[in-house]
């Protein structure tokens, strides 16, 4: 039965993502946009560009977003909700401004944004909010009166947690003796200063790492309970890109694999919980580099599948959209969490996950 009011007051949903090149000649312009304002020389970018060239110059992220876009539309339709879903990126076509123009052409007055970054830190949340503000400014007068909101950081939403749990159980089921597995949860490394300031401005910081640690502990406990194991998971990092003089989160996944290899030959099972789908950081940094490290070190390597378009995950994303709409209507909403007491607000608090380089306007917050 149709339920067209379920997403009211929103009339368009925006799937917002990082973006990626889709041809070799797009790689360097994309990398320059990603690193704009940071003084990264082209020589360094050329090194990173080789990762893309190795896979034909085409990042997997846009195709994955197209698939997710279709699954979101299908899940909304299954629930009888007839609201269009558009797609925009921060760093490649279609850009956020393109998505807003499409939404306005559809008659949008209020847009609800769902980003593909699930955690709390500057690069995962506030930078998206800044780019949304810049896109509205770029659209100009046509966007006057347009209201843009977003769903809350959702790393610990039940749809995310249950999708990861199922993927972990499935992966460990392919291991000859899962009791010998060494479980590594992997996420994108960020500067230590960014983690220190992640979270509300009046909070203790380090929310980015804390969210990962809490999710990893819950997943490990549930996997052990379901499979009758006693694994001890740990958090490691990938994709460091800053200068050697700048402290970034450690340990690196490759360093840890080498250490584990010296401790025994049990399989290393890598769960990339910092990513919702197979981004370049997954297909290059894990499937290529980390797998090669494990081969050199002489230990079996297994990478756990990302949630991607898993039905539980996609259903959870739609639940988040409905939750945010209910909030916007002024209803009392019990925010779901896989980890009780660990829920971030939909409207970011003043000073939350600040930009440490320059103050910029940002949407979807109270500052």
Q: pLDDT digits over 166-201, tens only?
A: 999 999 999 999 999 999 999 999 999 999 999 988
Mean pLDDT of the chain: 95
CATH code, 12-155 = 3.40.50.1400
In the CATH scheme, what architecture does the domain 158-303 have? 3-Layer(aba) Sandwich (3.40)
Give the per-residue pLDDT at 242.
78
pLDDT, tens digit, for every residue of 270-285?
Answer: 999 999 999 899 999 9
Rounded mean pLDDT of 7-15?
98
pLDDT band at 4 (very low <50, low <70, confident <90, very high): low
Domain ranges across the chain:
12-155, 158-303
Q: What is the 3-state secondary structure (H, E, C) of the chain?
A: CCCCCCCCCCCEEEEEECCCCCCHHHHHHHHHHHCCCCCCCHHHHHHHHHHHHCCCCCCCHHHHHHHHHHHHHHHHHHCCCCCCEEEEECCCCCEHHHHHHHHHHCCCCEEEEEECCCCCCHHHHHHHHHHHHHHHHHHHHHHCCCEEEECCCCCCCHHHHHHHHHHHHHHHCCCCCHHHCEEEEEEECCEHHHHHCCCCCCCCCCHHHHHHHHHHHHHHHHHHHHHCCCCCCEEEEECCCCCCCCCECCCEHHHHHHHHHHHCCCCEEEECCCCCCCCHHHHCHHHHHHHHHHHHHCCCEEECCCCCCCHHHHHHHHHHHHHHHHHHCCCCCCCCCCCCCCCCCCCECCCCCCCCCCCCCCCCECC
pTM of the model: 0.95
pLDDT at 40 over 90: no
Structure tokens at 209: 């790492």
Give the per-residue pLDDT at 243.
81
Share of the chain above pLDDT 90, in %: 87
Share of the chain above pLDDT 70, in %: 99
Rounded mean pLDDT of 323-338?
94
Residues with Cβ within 8 Å of 89's Cβ and at least 6 positions away in sequence, in order, are 16, 17, 18, 19, 20, 62, 65, 95, 96
pLDDT at 1 over 50: no
> What is the number of residues in the chain?
367
Establish whether domains 12-155 and 158-303 are of one fold: yes
pLDDT, tens digit, for every residue of 224-271?
Answer: 999 999 999 999 999 998 788 899 999 999 999 999 999 999 999 999
Rounded Cα distance between 322 and 317, Å, is 9
pLDDT, tens digit, for every residue of 309-318?
Answer: 999 999 999 9
pLDDT at 151 over 80: yes
Rounded mean pLDDT of 298-326?
97
pLDDT at 138 over 70: yes
Rounded mean pLDDT of 130-137?
98
pLDDT at 2 over 70: no
Q: Is residue 307 within 8 Å of 167, Cβ to Cβ?
A: yes
Residue 39, burial from CB neighbour count under 10 angstroms (0-12, 13-18, 19+):
exposed
Give the per-residue pLDDT at 316.
97
Give the per-residue pLDDT at 39.
77
């Amino acid at each position: 039965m149709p339920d067209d009011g379920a997403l009211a007051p929103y009339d368009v949903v925006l799937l917002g993502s990082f973006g990626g090149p889709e041809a070799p000649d797009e790689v360097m312009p994309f990398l320059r946009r990603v690193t704009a304002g940071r003084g990264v020389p082209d020589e360094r970018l050329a090194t990173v560009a080789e990762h893309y060239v190795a896979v034909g110059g085409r990042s997997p992220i846009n195709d994955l977003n197209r698939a997710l876009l279709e699954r979101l539309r299908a899940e909304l339709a299954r629930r009888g909700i007839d609201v269009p879903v558009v797609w925009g990126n921060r760093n490649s076509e279609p850009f956020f401004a393109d998505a807003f123009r499409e939404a306005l052409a559809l008659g949008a007055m209020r847009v609800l944004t769902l980003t593909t970054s699930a955690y709390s830190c500057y690069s995962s949340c506030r930078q998206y909010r800044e780019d949304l503000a810049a896109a509205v400014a770029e659209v100009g007068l046509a966007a006057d009166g347009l209201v843009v909101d977003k769903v809350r950081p959702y790393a610990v939403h039940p749809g995310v947690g249950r999708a990861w749990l199922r993927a972990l159980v499935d992966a460990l089921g392919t291991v000859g003796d899962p009791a010998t597995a060494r479980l590594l949860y992997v996420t994108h490394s960020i500067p230590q200063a960014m983690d220190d300031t992640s979270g509300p401005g009046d909070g203790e910081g380090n929310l980015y790492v804390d969210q990962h640690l809490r999710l990893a502990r819950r997943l490990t406990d549930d996997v052990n309970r379901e499979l009758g194991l006693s694994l001890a998971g740990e958090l490691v990092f990938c994709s460091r890109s800053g200068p050697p003089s700048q402290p970034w989160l450690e340990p690196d996944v490759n360093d840890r694999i080498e250490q584990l290899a010296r401790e025994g030959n049990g399989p290393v099972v890598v769960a990339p919980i910092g990513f919702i789908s197979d981004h370049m950081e997954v297909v290059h940094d894990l499937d290529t580099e980390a797998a090669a490290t494990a081969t050199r070190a002489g230990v079996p390597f297994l990478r756990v599948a990302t949630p991607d378009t898993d039905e539980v995950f996609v259903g959870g994303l739609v639940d988040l959209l409905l939750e945010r709409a209910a909030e916007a209507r002024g209803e009392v909403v019990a925010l779901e969490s896989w980890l009780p007491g660990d829920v971030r607000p939909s409207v970011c608090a003043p000073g939350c996950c600040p930009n440490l380089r320059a103050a910029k306007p940002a949407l979807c917050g109270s500052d």
